[in-house]
A = this chain, B = another copy of it.
Amino acid sequence: MDNWILKQAYLVPNRIAVDDGKTQLTFAKLKQEVIKLSGQLKTADVLEGQRVAIMTSNSLSGYLLALAILGSNRSIVWINWRLSDEEITRQLKDSNPSMCLVEDKLWRDSFQKGFMKFSSLMRVPAANYQLVSEFHDEDVASIMYTSGTTGRPKGVMQTFGNHFASAVSSSLNLGLSAEDEWLCAVPIFHISGFSIMMRGLIYGMTIRLVSHFQPENIDQILTTEPISTVSVVPYMLKKLLTLRAQHDVPYNSNFRCMLLGGGPIDHQTLKLCQKYRIPVVQSYGMTETCSQIVALNYEDAERRIGSVGKPLFLTQLKLGENQEILIKTPALTKGYLNRSNALESKKTSDGWYKTGDIGHLDNDGFLYVDGRIDDMIIFAVRIFSQMKSSRSILQEKKLMK
């Protein structure tokens, strides 16, 4: 495929690519900015290796730098700025980027060699630099770590092909229009946010960047700006609904839906969505699948409370052993960094990815996620232990008799 940044600058040069509330950049301007930043990355020797890490809020400069990394044919290593020094060190050790670029306001005194402030980079002159002309399906665009706070970190490698498949699957479900504008208040270091950035490039769509979630601010934007779609988690949705109770003005006329990740909603919340005419599309996905792979459309929401919906067009889904949710999708990661067999070990012999979630399907094929298989196993082990204990006690009692 052509480089998506160059392609949209060619196809829709005058359309707004990104808007942070202060600055609006067209796709043509975006291209210029990305070329300049790539030249600066070059000068600063940041393009020495194959990967560049970035630690940023949803700032315009973070967004642009991430694209400059992609445009320079390097992989982005997304660093969650909420992590401890120790966790960050572990992830950087694993991914071995040539540099970790840090937004100034997130700088920590502990950062030494291998870290660079955005402002330091901006002071560097830009070398002449030509962006790569193609994005290849198999190339790794981004790496995101999914480990918890302990254990060896697991870097999920997301390819351009994965992001493309995800964006296409989403568009086949939610629809697509040249007037679409997606509000991104979820973090871009997380797949929920980065997938919005990718959709922006693939659809030629405006991304409205918001640095952090302030309910009043989001409500205001949804009311006054032509936002068609916004990604939220249940907490955000509830906060926004509370504000709706206080406001008379409806969301703007271009508004089409809220894409909800991070768990299904309860009946009461849905009732409020209906009351305020906010179509909410619930979804299920993970870092390994580049965001949503299953979605519940608004029309079905009322009759399927608790369900995450049906597999998207490109998602194949079935239940395996112990009711584990198994999937196949071109959006599935090509693997975990430096762990050559880790993905294979999570697949069945015939190639289905084991999500680790257990679930069930109702008669019409709507999926309900019932928990983590680990929890179920832990639970089963506990029951089993208890049974054993009981038996032991019984046996002991017998023996005592």
A172 to B7 Cα, complex, angstroms:
13
Check if A202 is an interface residue, CB within 8 A of chain B: yes
A313 touches B7 (CB 8 A): yes
Of residues 129 to 179 in A, which have CB atoms within 8 Å of B's CB atoms?
134, 168, 171-172, 175-178
Of residues 106 to 138 in A, which have CB atoms within 8 Å of B's CB atoms?
134
Check if A221 is an interface residue, CB within 8 A of chain B: no
Nearest CB in chain B to that of A11: its residue? B310
B175 touches A178 (CB 8 A): yes
Q: How far is the CB of A396 from chain B (nearest CB, A)?
A: 54
Check if A314 is an interface residue, CB within 8 A of chain B: yes
Q: How far is the CB of A54 from chain B (nearest CB, A)?
A: 26
B1 touches A314 (CB 8 A): yes
Nearest CB in chain B to that of A180: its residue? B175
0 or 1 for each of A1-35: is its CB under 8 Å from B? (1 = yes): 11000010011000000000000000000000000
0 or 1 for each of A243-263: is its CB under 8 Å from B? (1 = yes): 000000000000000000000
Check if A316 is an interface residue, CB within 8 A of chain B: yes
0 or 1 for each of A41-84: is its CB under 8 Å from B? (1 = yes): 00000000000000000000000000000000000000000000
Which of chain B's residues have a CB closer than 8 A to the CB of A365? Answer: 10
Check if A352 is an interface residue, CB within 8 A of chain B: no
Q: How far is the CB of A85 from chain B (nearest CB, A)?
A: 42
Q: Which listed residue, B171, B203, B310, touches A10 by the CB 8 Å rule?
A: B310
Nearest CB in chain B to that of A309: its residue? B11
A95 to B202 Cα, complex, angstroms:
38
Central interface residue in A10, A202, A313, A314, by most chain B CB within 10 Å? A313
Which of chain B's residues have a CB closer than 8 A to the CB of A316? Answer: 1-2, 134
Which of chain B's residues have a CB closer than 8 A to the CB of A10? Answer: 310, 365
A5 to B10 Cα, complex, angstroms:
36
A365 to B178 Cα, complex, angstroms:
20
A134 to B328 Cα, complex, angstroms:
11
**Interface residues in chain A, defined as those with a beta carbon under 8 Å from any beta carbon in chain B:** 1-2, 7, 10-11, 134, 168, 171-172, 175-178, 202-204, 310, 313-314, 316, 365
**5 shortest interchain CB distances as A-B pairs:** A176-B176, A175-B177, A175-B176, A168-B168, A2-B316
Given contacts A10-B365, A11-B313, 7 further A-B contacts (CB under 8 A): A7-B313, A168-B168, A172-B202, A172-B203, A175-B175, A175-B176, A176-B176
6 pairs, A vs B, C-beta closer than 8 Å = A7-B313, A171-B171, A171-B172, A175-B176, A202-B313, A204-B313
